[in-house]
């Protein structure tokens, strides 16, 4: 997305800084993390589009993880699982998204771009009764219960997309323009929100009370995904809930937990239709109890040997080899052990065989993080990794071709081995860290956080037309 290097520390304040971006105007006060000054979330019920069949087995076959978590092999498995799997709409031509070359055998027509293919497929499924439209607007209560630990509960609603600079919905990550354009093209072609973004909203007692009261009775939909997470949804048309819940959320602001590219795509589409009521399907979860957890998203630098990576890193960090077994499971165990200790290494490097820890960054490396940036942003591991290690010492830009992302340790280690590269394994920020960055008006580097659990794509869609 942008090149990084030692010049980052001396850039003028209004330019993008290495490892993310920020607006210094927001930080003219002495507080680094001021309270949200939101005008409040604007949430409305909507007439959903859902699969006609709601039995758990069918919903498991036709639903999917979020589009950016689907690998090429995973996409083919999902498409083969059912001819009406939602992946045929969210990734109609493969994982590159709309505008990419079509995947063979998936119903494409000569000369048809993938966004148009998704729109045609959607219309065909509606005409055939595979997908059906609700007659009345509703809000949807959504519970995600992992095999272990507490459940995450939130509400699906149509949330107004504020103009740039609005404080009701705050992003915390940078986006990549090509990915935004791909989602925008799909959104415009289908005129449908095919999957929700996820917002973490300020705690609001009345929302919590309404949520507890609604968690009863038989769920409208239920399934368990391949990770063992049970998804339950209740369609709510109760007039009291439809009145009180939006009013309560209007007193709260929110941080985007997942879906920065889809939110930016909705905003971009709104710019072409400024007179419309621009909204986006969102799952609204509370910050804190009953909300989401944050995991790290790791980096992989292809075509970089561990020896070269360690030699360069040694000019700015203390380097320590960590004993690890020769097989992938033993290596992953060594990573977990290192990251669970009281003195966790700042970064871990691996080529899929060996494991190296980086600690004690030098003053030169720390200086690549602009001193005028807010402290919430300066203190992030991912910012130092992107600016000081990847950009300054390895001289690699932060773009999708030069710096790959992996959503867990085994994926990162496997990708490093296949691409003859190095996995850069990061510690997860806390939800408080993420909220502080967003409230400070700053941006973390793209793909910095993985909020879990994830809503299942395909259970509830939102057509734009009333």
Tokens found for residue 18: 């290495």
Q: CA Rg, the chain, in Å?
A: 22
| CA 202 to centroid of chain Cα atoms | 19
Report the percent of the chain where pLDDT is more than 70. Answer: 85
pLDDT at 39: 64
What is the spatial distance between Cα 152 and Cα 133, in angstroms, rounded to a whole number? 27
pLDDT at 5: 31
Residues of the chain with pLDDT under 70: 1-39, 94-112, 162-166, 274-276, 341-344
pLDDT at 112: 66
What is the spatial distance between Cα 453 and Cα 261, in angstroms, rounded to a whole number? 19
pLDDT at 8: 33
Residue whose C-alpha is closest to residue 114's, from 177, 189, 63, 62: 189
Instruction: Judge contact between 416 and 352, C-beta under 8 A.
Output: yes
What is the spatial distance between Cα 186 and Cα 170, in angstroms, rounded to a whole number? 23
pLDDT at 26: 31
Tokens found for residue 311: 């030699």
Place of tokens 């519970």: 143
The phi-psi region of residue 28 (left if phi > 0; otherwise alpha if psi is between -120 and 50; otherwise beta) is: alpha
């Amino acid at each position: 997305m942008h090149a990084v290097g030692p010049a980052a520390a001396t850039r003028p304040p209004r330019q993008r800084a290495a490892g993310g971006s920020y607006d210094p105007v927001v930080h003219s006060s002495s507080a680094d993390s001021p309270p949200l000054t939101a005008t409040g979330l604007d949430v409305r019920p909507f007439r959903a589009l859902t699969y006609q069949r709601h039995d758990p087995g069918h919903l498991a076959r036709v639903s999917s993880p979020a589009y950016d978590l689907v690998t090429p092999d995973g996409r083919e498995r999902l498409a083969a699982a059912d001819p009406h799997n939602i992946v045929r709409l969210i990734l109609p031509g493969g994982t590159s998204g709309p505008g990419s070359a079509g995947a063979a055998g998936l119903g494409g027509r000569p000369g048809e771009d993938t966004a148009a293919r998704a729109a045609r497929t959607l219309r065909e499924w509606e005409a055939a009764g595979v997908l059906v439209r609700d007659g009345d607007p509703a809000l949807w209560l959504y519970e995600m219960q992992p095999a272990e630990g507490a459940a995450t509960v939130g509400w699906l609603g149509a949330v107004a997309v504020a103009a740039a600079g609005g404080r009701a919905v705050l992003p915390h990550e940078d986006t990549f323009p090509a990915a935004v354009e791909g989602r925008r093209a799909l959104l415009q072609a289908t005129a449908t929100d095919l999957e929700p973004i996820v917002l973490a909203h300020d705690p609001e007692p009345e929302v919590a009370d309404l949520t507890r009261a609604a968690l009863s009775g038989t769920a409208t939909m239920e399934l368990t995904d391949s990770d063992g997470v049970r998804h339950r949804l209740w369609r709510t048309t109760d007039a009291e809930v439809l009145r009180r819940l939006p009013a309560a959320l209007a007193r709260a602001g929110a941080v985007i937990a997942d879906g920065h590219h889809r939110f930016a795509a909705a905003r971009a589409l709104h710019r072409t239709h400024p007179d419309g009521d621009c909204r986006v399907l969102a799952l609204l979860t509370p910050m804190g109890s009953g909300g989401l957890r944050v995991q790290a998203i790791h980096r992989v630098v292809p075509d970089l040997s561990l020896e070269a990576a360690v030699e360069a890193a040694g000019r700015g960090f203390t380097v320590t080899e960590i004993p690890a077994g020769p097989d992938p499971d033993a290596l992953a165990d060594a990573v977990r052990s290192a990251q669970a200790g009281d003195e966790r290494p700042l970064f871990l490097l691996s080529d899929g065989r060996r494991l190296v820890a980086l600690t004690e960054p030098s003053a030169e490396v720390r200086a690549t993080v602009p001193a005028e940036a807010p402290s919430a942003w300066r203190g992030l591991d991912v910012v130092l990794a992107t600016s000081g290690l990847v950009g300054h010492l390895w001289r690699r830009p932060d773009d999708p071709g030069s710096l790959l992302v992996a959503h867990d340790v085994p994926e990162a280690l496997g990708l490093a081995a296949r691409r003859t590269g190095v996995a850069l394994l990061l510690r997860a920020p806390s939800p408080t860290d993420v909220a502080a960055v967003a409230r400070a008006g700053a941006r973390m580097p793209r793909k910095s956080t993985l909020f879990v659990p994830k809503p299942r794509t395909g259970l509830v869609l939102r057509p734009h037309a009333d």
